[in-house]
A and B are shown apart, each in its own frame.
Chain A
Amino acid sequence: GQQLNQSPQSMFIQEGEDVSMNCTSSSIFNTWLWYKQDPGEGPVLLIALYKAGELTSNGRLTAQFGITRKDSFLNISASIPSDVGIYFCAGQRNYGQNFVFGPGTRLSVLP
C-alpha cells in the first residue's frame, strides 16, 4: 500500500529553538495534512495544504506542500513546552480516496 515516511522519528530540542520535520512519499498527493497528538488524546488538525507550493501558517507553525507533490514540511518556531507530542502527516492521493498517515515524529522540548 501507499507509504509515508516521516523524518526525524524523534527529536529532543531546547525550549526556544526552531523545529523542522518532513514527510515524504514515492507517490504524488493532492492534499497534505499535519496533525498533532498530545499524550492520551486523539490527533488534532494543525494545517491543511491543498496546492503544490502552498505555504500556510498557523501561529508559530508553518507548513509547505512540496513542489514535487511528493513531500511536505512542517516548521515550528521558538518552541515551547506545550509543543511536546507526536506530529503526524497525512496525504490523500486523489480526491475521494482515504488519507494515509505517516508513522509520526515525536517531539520533546527540554526547558
Chain B
Amino acid sequence: GAGVSQSPRYKVAKRGQDVALRCDPISGHVSLFWYQQALGQGPEFLTYFQNEAQLDKSGLPSDRFFAERPEGSVSTLKIQRTQQEDSAVYLCASSAGTGGTIIEQFFGPGTRLTVL
C-alpha cells in the first residue's frame, strides 16, 4: 500500500473489555513500532518488531498489553481487560531500517481508543 494503515480508526470499549488494534505496515518494511500517545503529549514507545521477532517490549505498561507480528508483516496490539487509563491514540510506524540505528519511520494515522 501507499502508507501505513491502521484499523479501526476509532474504538470505544467498556472497562474490562478486550480490544485488538491492527497495523498494516508499508510493504517490505522490516521494522515495526507501536507507540501510545496520550492527549496533549508526545508518542511513547511501546514495542518494536524486526520481521516477526519482538526485539523490545520494554514500553508495554502492563501484562495486559500484548503485541504480535506472526508473519513479519501485519501486527496486532491487544489490550486485555481495558482500563480508563488505556484511553489514548495508538500509533504504528514502520521503517525499512534495521538494527540499532533507525532511519525514517513512517507513521499510520493511529487508532483512538476510548475506554468508558
Answer yes or no: do A and B interact: no
